[in-house]
Every structure is written in structure tokens, then in C-alpha cells.
Structure 1
Amino acid sequence: MRFIWLLCLSCLTTSAFAQPADAAKEALREQLQMLALLPQQGGATTLRVVPEQRDNTTDFSEAELQQTLHQFWLSHGVELDDSRQLLTDEFYRVNARVTQLLALHEQQVWLPLAPGGWLRPGDNHRDIPAIAQRLALLGDLTSAPTTEYDYSDELADAVRHFQRRHGLKVDGVIGSETLYWLNVTPLQRATLLVKVYVEQTALRYQLPAQYVLVNVPAYELEFVNDGQLVLQSKVVVGLPYRQTPMLQSEITSVVLNPRWHVPRSIVRRNLLPHIRKDSNYLEQQAFDVYDLQGQQIPLADVDWSEQAYGRFPYRLVQRPGEHNALGRYKFHFANGFDVYLHDTPEKSLFAKSQRALSSGCVRVEKAAELAQWLGEHVVADARKWQQMQYDYTTTQWFKLRQRIPVYIVYWTAWVNEQGIAEFRPDIYNKEPLAAPAVHSETHGD
């Protein structure tokens, strides 16, 4: 997914202002109709159009359209001199896809598909023609839909395309998550695209020329410098019951060879069960142990498996090295949740399709590339940074000459630059219109 936004309004609006006045007015009317899909609550109540009256905007003057849209966007923190500023390429992509989905909503009956079990390539099932037709309507199957009951290779390719743009495991198996998304109606899809479009547009007008952005449901990070994409990386985010928080902050330091000061909640939930099974676990995983007064406790002096059954009045700190849960790099930013971006030794996790697996922090697949860019361009002590590149045991904090804004967001739908609508499972159940993550469909993940 691309989150890069052009920051120059003149660049954003050149095509809109170059259009004939009637065309610009029509585009404003289409924007108003698109926004009218939103639930009538919060800022959306400033719209003079409700979903049942979407077609009743033809008599609006351009001044009325401008005023209505201005009020709507102002309620979302976007102050515009001219509403035509939002007639961007992205708007036209989203509007085209929404228009197509609404046409499907009006023309097709979207009955639930319920095959009663998983379907795999080579299977034979009475629902195959209905599945093929649905994939054709959504644009994933480009040939004429089959009327046969056989799950063909051609249909499997269409299912994989569908799975890819929904962030699912791309295996051609129609399981619970794939079936859920096949049953999401065109109106639900259109509404979700509009909702997230508003959220993305509101953020766009805050973004500086340089930032890091993490989209949690997409399991993806982007680093942008001077308005250009520098790095795109897979990430691992927090489990549904240990969620990565949505926030805005600034990266102020990069920590090389970080020590991991384990939070008490992780000690209790994750580490104590291992320690109970193996008294040598702390030594094997390179942990130092401190009492509550800060005095280090020699590992050999205590039967740790026995202590793990009690109150465990100790703090655990993991030394740098191959076992360290933070990997080689930590990107520190102030926040009230004690989370940050960091490397990880568990590289295999990035091969999974569903990556809500951490205790809240964001693990970055390309942490080394991000760290090296910062080391070359914004680390205050560049000389020391270079000197320590072959040191894997000494913990060193490197302050940045300039702070890097970081945004953690929750966007479950968008239209990419090729005009394809992308959706992602609602791993934290924040979007009533998005599909929840169904963790039973793992197929070996």
C-alpha cells in the first residue's frame, strides 16, 4: 500500500482547476454524493445530503457544493481555501471504484455463499458457479464465469488475486476469511472505502515531507523523505488482546544493540511459563536478573523454576545478542504506551499473512535498512555510528539531529495507484464494516 501524499496543493489541484467549470462542479457533486454514504454521525451531520437522497444534488449551485464540502472537511480538521483542492487523482480513483460498487449494489442481489466447508482447487461443488460469478463482478476473474461445478485452475488464480488484495493467505483455498470477504456486500465495501478515504485525507494535511507511517491492519511500514518513498517494510504488530496503539509521535533516537527491559506483564504472561519448565531458561536466553532495589542477582544463586511459581519480585533485562527480542535496532519515540519500533531475531514471522503477533510493539522486517538510512543522514554522531557497526554487544543510544514524525494508523481499505480496491481484516474489531480476523484459517501459518 502506498501512503505517500503530494504535499504541494498546487500539484494536487492542477488537473481539477484545469477542467471546465461544469466538469469541476460535477466532480464536487460526486464528492458530496460519495461522502453521503457515511453514517450520519459526528462530522458527517454537516452534510445536507443523506444516503437516501444521494441523487438529489443536481440542483446545487457550485457555491452551495463548496460550502457544504467546506463544512464537512472542516469538521474533520481539514481547512480548505477551495473544495476543488480535494479533486485529486486519489479522489477520482476512489470515486470510480465506489461508483462501480454502488452500481453492483443496485443491480445485483448479494446472497450469502455458504458452501459448508473449505473449497480447494480440484474440488467439485454446486457453489462454484456462484463463486465464479461473484469474482467476475468484483473484477478478480477476467474471463467469463464458469457454469461448471469443478474448481478449476483458472478460478483458483482468481481466488488468489482476491486473497492478495484482501491481505489473506494466497493459497487458493476458500476458507472462513476468504468466504467472509466474498460475502461482504458492494454497499459495505463502498462505505468502508469512503470512511477510510476521509481518514486518510484528514491525515494527509498534517503530514510533513519526512515521516514514518505504520498501517496496522496492512502490517506495513513506509518511510518517506522529501515526499519520496525511501523504504517499505512488512511489520509485525500487537495481538488482538495486546493491541498496538494508534498514535502520533517523533522518533528521537536509534538504539544500537538494545538491552530489553522486559515489562512485568510480559514476564508474567510469556516468560514465567518457560522458567517454570526450565530453571536454566534465563541463562540460555541471556537474561540478567535484578531485585526491586536494582541489585543484580547471580543466576547460579537461585532455583528460578521454583521462584517462577511465587510472586517473582525481580526485573529481567535481556542482554544484546542473537537471542535479544529487540534484535539489533530499536527506534525510540515518546509515548504513554511503552511501545516502539524495533528489529527482531524471528525473521520467519514476516512470511505469515496474519502478523498480529507481538505484545504491542512494532517489529520491522527492514529495521537494518531503516537504521542505516538514519545513520547516514540524521544520526548526530555519524562517526561513532560507523565505528560501532561491527560491535554487536555494546548498547549505544544515537540521538537524531532532527526528529522523524511517526504515525501509527488503522486503515482497512483503500484504492491503490492501479485503481484496485484493497481491503484488510479488522484485526482489532475497530471497523464494524470490515471483516474481523478469523484466526482459524491459518493453513499452516
Structure 2
Amino acid sequence: MASPVLAQQVVPPTVTPTIVPSVPTLAPPVIVVPTLSDAQASLLDKLLNGDIVAQGLKSAATATTTAPSKDELVHAALDHARAVHAGRLGEADFQKDWGLRPPAYDPTPAFADAVRQDRIAAWFASLPPPYAGYDGLRKGLQNYRSIAAAGGWQTLASGPDFTIGASGPRVLALRKRLAAEDKDVDTSGDKFDASLLEAVRRAQRRYGLNPSGIVSTQTLAALNVSATDRVHQIMANMERWRWLPQDLPRDRIQVNIAAAVLTVFDGDVPVQSMRAVTGRPGDETPMLSSTIHSIVINPPWNVPTSIATKELWPKQRANPSYFKRNGIKVIDGTRLQQQAGDQSALGRFKFDFANVYSVYLHDTPSRAKFASFSRLASHGCVRLEKPAELADLLLKGDPAWTPELVDAAVAKGDTVRARLIKPVSVYLLYWTAFASGNGQMNFRADPYDWDGILASKIEARTARQTIAAR
């Protein structure tokens, strides 16, 4: 049936429509960069050579036999600014599940103004992401480059697990390896004593492993990643920081997908943190930014078609009582919905935010995985260790949803939506390298191989740009 509004907009044949003259499109103004003075050219050349390495854009500065012209320096400065401020990828380089995109950025106006005011150094300093997380990576990059330049560390030999009480060459080699990243490790002696036990535990925490103090296959694998590979890992994470806006919301939630941890921030200060379960390889949790606008209490689960087809229907065919036992209804003969309740895969809380991936944060009745140090096990959504605490924090100050009223709503069992008085930004991020508050670098595995894919895309784009410049 045609919309009555659209029908009213049809012009009768007897009426001559008014012709509106077209308005010419104005071209954007051309920004002309003033000519560099000799002193500015010298400073710019020096800044470029140092900053291109410090910002993790290249492993080392490229030596040149001839001094660049002033025009070449201007082009290099603008290219450098785009790379440091907004990253090196083009739109076509982003994968579908890399939902973060750097805002459009043209460095020309600010650079031209910096040349006119003779403030090139200050302009340079303003380019990188203004976050403690990025600055921690930059400092870590310098440290790990120094380690790599000095020869890195020796690979530890495989063998049986060992811990306190062990002795011999493997213990001595372990001491030397740990000391490369931990200045508090004593490199003398071949006895596995209490101090070495604590050093092993510190290393295991840095790698996101169970801090058991036992040097097992998993710990050896983390210790045997080369210093050069750690440099590349830091560089990949610095690139992803550049995809974020220059002004992050003060109140926000960040999920580190690779580490499977959720943190609530007030500025750069974490005010709440909890373990999470994120997507397993093959069901990756996407990188994205959005805004949590409401919390669904006692949510039903509308089962995605892919999960229903691959997992639930086969279970029902193998055991015809499976759906009934798990509170699953068949809607319209095909769609599945799990009713709200203790069995619901979404638990008692679902945190809603708009996104094209149909993912969200939610509770879960399956609590065992939170005790694990490897927590990539979901279909892509983010399961939360302490969803009730997060709900209370986000609803704080709303008299309609005090903790007592939330508890009462959960107990009643009805599905209700609590809209946030103050919506909160949420960022799903993929950090495989990050610095602690004391500057200590932490690393995680690259479960989705996104570090490797990112490096390949950057190399391919750099190669294309080099060919085009010839």
C-alpha cells in the first residue's frame, strides 16, 4: 500500500513544477604552506629522522646521501603527520571486524600555521595520540629496541617443567632470560630459589599466564618470543591507538579483547575492572566504539541463525528434550529464542549498544571460564564476571534503579529495560601489548593474528607508496 504522505507529493500532470537553479559547489580553499626558512628546514629534517623511529613508524631511520629539498621536507612532514595522527591504513585496508576508523584528518592547515608562527616543534609534539596508554608503548618500544640492538636474549631449551628446588644450566639460562626484561632478577647462581620463583611469577603475570611459578611449555613459549618480535608487536598496538579519537570520553568502558578484561575509566583512572570472556578464534569479537544506552534485566536470548544451525538444532535432533530442558522456544517454525531465567545464555543482564555486529556485553550462567587465564571462548559477545556490579555503577544516581530495585527486578524475573540517565561510551579494543602504571610492558598472544595481518597491510601500503613516489 502506498504511503499517503508520498501520494500527496505527486505533482499532477497539469501543474508545471518550479525549476530551482542549481547552486554551484564551492571547492575547499587551497592551503598554501609558507616557504620554510633554512633554520626551519634543518629542524624539520632532524625531527622527522628522530620521530619516525620513536613513533614506531619504522624500525630504523633511513640514511640518505643527499639532503632533502624544502618541498620534499614539507611532503614528508605532512605524510608523517597523517601516519602518526591517524594511522597508515587506507579505508580499503580495514577488515570488516576492525570497526574502528580514525577520523578524517588533514594536517596541512595546522602545519602551515606552525610554519608561519615558527612553532614546528610544538606542532610535531601535538601529533601522537594524547594518551598514557600510547605513551607507555612508545617508551616500551625504545626499551625493547635497545634490548634487540644488544642481541636480544637466548632461546631457552625445551624440557620437563621445573620450579623451586631445581638447579643446573637451565636455571642459570632462565635467570639471564628473565633479567633481560626484569632488572630485579639476580643472574648469578644455578639454584631455583624463592626470589627466582617470584621473578617467574612476575613474568607469567606480564604474559597473562597462570602465575604458578612453574616453568612449563606455555611459559617457555612466551619467554622465547624474540625481542625483535616484541618490537613489532608494540608497533602494531601503537598503530591501533591512532585509530581512536583525540578526545576519548572521560567516562567510558574499555574491553581488551586479547586480554579478556573489562575496565571502567574515569579519565585515565580505572575505577572498576573485571575478567571477561571474549570471542574465540573464528568467532572474533570485533573492534568497535559505541554507546551503552540501556540495560536489559532478565533478557531472553534470540539465538543467531548461525549458532542455531551449527549447534542447537543438532543437539535437539540428538536429544528431542534438549530445547524443553533449556527453555528454548521455536518461533515461526525456524527461529529459536531462549527464555529469560537462570538457564539463559545471557544471564540476568544485557548491556545494549548500537553496532552492526550484533554483539553486546552480558551476564552468563557459565562461570567456570572466569577462573581460567585463557578466556577466548564466546561466539563474539563479551561475557562479564561481575555484571551486577557494572549495572549498579552505570545506574548510580537513578532513583528508579537503586541496587535494591535492580535486585528486586532480577528476582521477579520479568524482562525490563533500564535506560541510562547518562549513556556511557564503550570501546572494544585489541591490545596485545600495553604498559602497566609503572612502565612495565605486558604482552598477550595474538589469538586472531591481527598483529600479523596489520603488519602485512602496512608493508603492502608502504611498498605501493614507495613505487608511486618513484
Fold-level similarity (TM above 0.5): yes
Matched, 1:418 2:427: no
Q: Secondary structure at the match of 1:331?
A: strand
Partner of 1:127: 170
Aligned mates of 1:151, 1:369 — CA distance in 2: 41
Matched, 1:53 2:86: no
Partner of 2:150: 107
Partner of 1:144: 186
Partner of 2:270: 229
Aligned mates of 1:340, 1:90 — CA distance in 2: 24
C-alpha distance after superposition, 1:150-200 (max 9, x if no partner):
443332221111110111121123233322221222222223223312322
Aligned mates of 2:362, 2:264 — CA distance in 1: 14
Partner of 2:239: 198
Partner of 1:382: 400
**1:330, CA displacement in angstroms?**
0.2
Q: Secondary structure at the match of 2:407?
A: coil
Q: Secondary structure at the match of 2:442?
A: strand
Whether contact under 8 Å (1:238, 1:358) holds in the other structure is: yes
C-alpha distance after superposition, 1:88-116 (max 9, x if no partner):
66666444432322222222253432323
C-alpha distance after superposition, 1:95-154 (max 9, x if no partner):
443232222222225343232343344344532222210101111x62421442x44333
Partner of 2:330: 290
The correspondence of residues 358-437 of structure 1 with structure 2, limited to 5 A, is 358-377=378-397, 382=400, 387=405, 389-391=407-409, 392=411, 393-432=413-452
Q: State the Cα RMSD in Å.
A: 3.7
* Structure 1 residue runs without a partner (length 5+): 1-22, 39-49, 294-313, 435-445
Whether contact under 8 Å (1:216, 1:411) holds in the other structure is: yes
Matched, 1:215 2:224: no
Whether contact under 8 Å (1:257, 1:395) holds in the other structure is: yes
AA aligned opposite 1:70: A
AA aligned opposite 1:319: Q
TM-score by length of 1: 0.73
Q: Secondary structure at the match of 1:188?
A: helix
**1:320, CA displacement in angstroms?**
2.1
Partner of 2:296: 255
Larger radius of gyration: 2
AA aligned opposite 2:62: Q
Q: Secondary structure at the match of 1:211?
A: strand
* Structure 2 residue runs without a partner (length 5+): 1-42, 88-101, 111-122, 455-470
**1:232, CA displacement in angstroms?**
1.8
Aligned mates of 1:55, 1:122 — CA distance in 2: 55
Aligned mates of 1:125, 1:170 — CA distance in 2: 22
Aligned mates of 2:47, 2:269 — CA distance in 1: 28
The correspondence of residues 266-305 of structure 1 with structure 2, limited to 5 A, is 266-272=307-313, 274-275=315-316, 278-285=319-326, 287-292=327-332
AA aligned opposite 1:245: P
Aligned mates of 1:226, 1:143 — CA distance in 2: 34
Bigger mean CA deviation after superposition, 23-32 or 252-261 = 23-32
Aligned mates of 1:160, 1:106 — CA distance in 2: 27
Q: Secondary structure at the match of 1:432?
A: helix
Q: Secondary structure at the match of 2:438?
A: coil
Aligned mates of 1:315, 1:145 — CA distance in 2: 62
Whether contact under 8 Å (2:55, 2:138) holds in the other structure is: no
Matched, 1:356 2:376: yes
Whether contact under 8 Å (1:376, 1:382) holds in the other structure is: no
Partner of 1:240: 281
**1:74, CA displacement in angstroms?**
4.4
Q: Secondary structure at the match of 1:214?
A: strand
Aligned mates of 2:395, 2:273 — CA distance in 1: 17
Aligned mates of 1:55, 1:418 — CA distance in 2: 38
Whether contact under 8 Å (1:188, 1:433) holds in the other structure is: no
Partner of 2:4: none
Q: How many residues align?
A: 376
Q: Secondary structure at the match of 1:431?
A: helix
AA aligned opposite 1:341: L
Bigger mean CA deviation after superposition, 129-138 or 257-266 = 257-266
Bigger mean CA deviation after superposition, 93-102 or 412-421 = 93-102
Partner of 2:97: none
**1:29, CA displacement in angstroms?**
6.1
AA aligned opposite 1:167: G
Bigger mean CA deviation after superposition, 388-397 or 270-279 = 270-279
The percent identity for this pair of structures is 29
**1:373, CA displacement in angstroms?**
2.2
Change in CA separation of 1:60 and 1:193 when aligned onto 2, cut-off 3 Å: farther
Aligned mates of 2:68, 2:50 — CA distance in 1: 13
